[in-house]
Structures are given as C-alpha cells and as structure tokens.
Amino acid sequence: ALEDLNISGMMRRCRVKVDEKTGGFLKNGQSRKKGLNRSISDASWGELILNIEYLAAKQGKVVIKVNPKYSSQECRNCGHKDKYNRDGEKFICTECGYHEHADIGAAKTIRFRALNLVRGDSAKPGISA
Ligand SMILES: [Zn+2]
C-alpha cells in the first residue's frame, strides 16, 4: 500500500508573495520547500513506486494507492484529525492522548486505508488494523 502522492505537484515552486504596500517580496516558504524538494528527488520517489509496482506484478501481488489526506494527522485510536496531533516525529492525539512514532503511525494508517479499500468497508481506524 502506497500513498497516492502527486509528486510533481509536491515539487512545484511556491507562488511568489509580494507586499502590497512596499512592493517587496515576502517570505513564501520556498527556502523551506527547497529542502523538501531535494529530499523528494534524492529519494527518487517516482522511481521507487515504479520498482514496487514492477516487483509486485512479477510476484502476482497488487499495489494499492490510497488517499494520502491527513495520513499523518489522523489518530488511529479515535479517528480525530488535527494538525496539532503531530509534533515532528511524535504523534500525540489532542483528543484521546494516543501516542506513537508519527511515521510508523502514518504507515499503519496507510495500510489500514488499503485494507478498507480491499474489504470494501469504511470502519473507523483501529489499533488492531
Ligand atoms: Zn485519538
């Protein structure tokens, strides 16, 4: 199971922001984004996905792409979505206090969403999934 990510969209440059009063440029997050773009292209995500799809097809397995929305902000215990649930590597639900490593939790959420697609149900997230 993979997140259905729009890689070219993620790597697009940020829109330029201009201060209406002074005409000068304002911070638009591009310098921060540059680091993200670099790590996306370093990891060659597109190539990695192709490789996974190739190997899966060779072994008769399926690759399922799931909606990536809020995968790192959604609590797997209670389903609460909040950007404040995530603090760097830590995930701590602001609603129920459930906590775990943010990346591992997001990976489990992706697996859960894929299983839901296969099973055709839309149950709430659960720790066991
Ligand atoms: Zn929660």
CB 62: neighbour CB atoms within 10 A? 10
Query: pLDDT averaged over consecutive 10-residue blocks of the chain (129 residues)?
Result: 79 75 80 70 78 95 92 91 93 96 92 89 54
> How many whole angstroms from 104 Cα to the centroid of ligand 1?
15
> How many whole angstroms from 47 Cα to the centroid of ligand 1?
35
> How many whole angstroms from 112 Cα to the centroid of ligand 1?
16
CB 111: neighbour CB atoms within 10 A? 14
> How far are the Cα atoms of 1, 55, 69, 86, 117 from residue 4, in angstroms, in the given order?
9, 18, 9, 21, 13
> How many whole angstroms from 90 Cα to the centroid of ligand 1?
13
pLDDT for res 42:
62
Domain ranges of the chain: 1-61, 64-129
